[in-house]
Amino acid sequence: MKRLVTISILMIGFALTGCKEKPVPAQEILRPVKTMQVGEGASGRQWVFSGTAEDALQSDLSFRVGGKIISFPGDQIGRKFRSGEIIARLDPEDYELEVRQSESNLEQIRANYVRAKADVKRISELYKRKVVSKSELDKADADFKSYQAQLNASAKKLDIARKRLRYTVLKAPFNGWVGAVAVNVHQNVQSGQKVVGFNAGKQMKMSISLPDTLISTVNEGEKVQVTFDALPGKTMQGVIMEVGIGTNEGASFPVKVYLDNSDQLIRSGMSGNVRFASRSGRPKVFVVPSAIVGNPDGTKHVWVVENGSIVKRRNVEVGPISVKGVLIKNGLKSGDVVVTRGVHSLRDGLKVRNIGGLS
């Protein structure tokens, strides 16, 4: 009987042992959050400024004397001239008369000069022989010097008259074309009055204005890219040749960009854009307002997801709000993944599960 009881107890123990299950470890719960990846603002990568092209070598041509225009080959905008070719002529009649009068006066004075010179020589011989007095010799010598001075002055007047006659012809100072016409044929013009605007065209320039926050990073000799609305799909290389040291009327700094125009594709007056390469300054990053958490001491922070699932607190300095979001001045960089929903129930080192968000 005892043997039967023992066997029964052993069988019950084995049964109870077989019913026990192995313990299941507790599964870690990942808190769901929404995130966004921080990107750089466009203004932090490239600068674009508009401007208008103009000839780097452009001159307003005018006559150095006044008169009536009787010939005007340069009265057509776009007409090309080689250096020395005639653009316009004035009526030379008055200036030719002035030259003739100066020539006549010069000949008359030259005759008096020759006679006075001979008188000095003759009277000097007579004075040596004590035939004439010293006063007569002095008078002859004074007359000779007077005519000599008049001869020099008359020669200069003739030279001026001949120059004035040459000034009635307006010639091209270099190879180029007419960019503007200010007068008409048969019109009376004054000395210095603009007749045509003459362009060289081989080199162009664009004037742009940069704000004071950017001007310090621009240097002479820096290369930039220039595009024109009239030349779609074509990008040209320009060089910064002049950087203003003072502000203009718009409280910005003037900068001049020069372009090679050997192929003469660019025309004066074309509008275009000057593009600067990426700058070395800190790029701008933005986040949505819901990503920012305020602290009791007035500071602010965001939660950044690292290693794919672990959140870390990151203190940030915020700037103004714009259509792009809240500007982050310090604390974030491009590529950081920031939590945008569920930020108030997080702690450092907590694992999270991204359920979607902004890219």
pLDDT tens string 142-185: 999 999 999 999 999 999 999 999 999 999 988 888 888 999 99
Residue ranges matching CATH 1.10.287 in the chain:
93-166
User: In the prediction, which pLDDT does 45 show?
Assistant: 53
Instruction: Tell me which of 1.10.287, 1.10.10, 3.30.70, 3.40.390 is the CATH number of domain 93-166.
Output: 1.10.287
Q: What sign does the CA torsion over 29, 31, 35, 38 have?
A: negative
Mean pLDDT of 42-68: 81
For the domain covering 31-43+283-358, report its CATH number. Answer: 2.40.420.20
Q: What distance in Å separates the CA atoms of residue 304 and residue 336, rounded to the nearest whole number? A: 7
Residue ranges matching CATH 2.40.420.20 in the chain:
31-43+283-358
Percentage of the chain beyond pLDDT 90 is: 30
pLDDT tens sequence across 123-134: 998 888 888 888
Any bridge partners for residue 225, and if so which? 237, 275
The residue among 355 and 243 whose pLDDT is bigger is: 243
Place 356 in a pLDDT band, splitting at 50, 70 and 90: low
Q: What distance in Å separates the CA atoms of residue 145 and residue 117, rounded to the nearest whole number? A: 9
Residue recorded with tokens 């590529």: 335
Place 44 in a pLDDT band, splitting at 50, 70 and 90: very low
Q: CA 181 → CA 184, 224, 264, distances in Å?
A: 8, 33, 20
271-276 and 223-228 as β-strands: parallel, antiparallel, unpaired? antiparallel
User: In the prediction, which pLDDT does 132 show?
Assistant: 85
The pTM score is: 0.50
User: In the prediction, which pLDDT does 42 show?
Assistant: 46
Average pLDDT, the chain: 83
Q: CA 342 → CA 291, 294, 347, 351, distances in Å?
A: 9, 14, 11, 13
Query: What values do phi and psi take at 290, rounded to 5?
Result: -70, -15
- Which class in CATH covers the domain with range 47-55+200-276? mainly beta
pLDDT tens sequence across 308-324: 788 899 999 988 877 67
User: What are the DSSP calls for 231-264, one per residue?
Assistant: STT-EEEEEEEEE-SS--TTSSEEEEEEEE-TT-
| Cα of 35 vs its chain's centroid, Å | 42
The residue among 71 and 289 whose pLDDT is bigger is: 71
pLDDT tens sequence across 76-124: 988 989 989 999 999 999 999 999 999 999 999 999 999 999 988 999 9
Residue ranges matching CATH 2.40.30.170 in the chain:
47-55+200-276
User: In the prediction, which pLDDT does 282 show?
Assistant: 54
Q: What distance in Å separates the CA atoms of residue 140 and residue 136, rounded to the nearest whole number? A: 6
Residue 265 has pLDDT above 90, yes or no: no
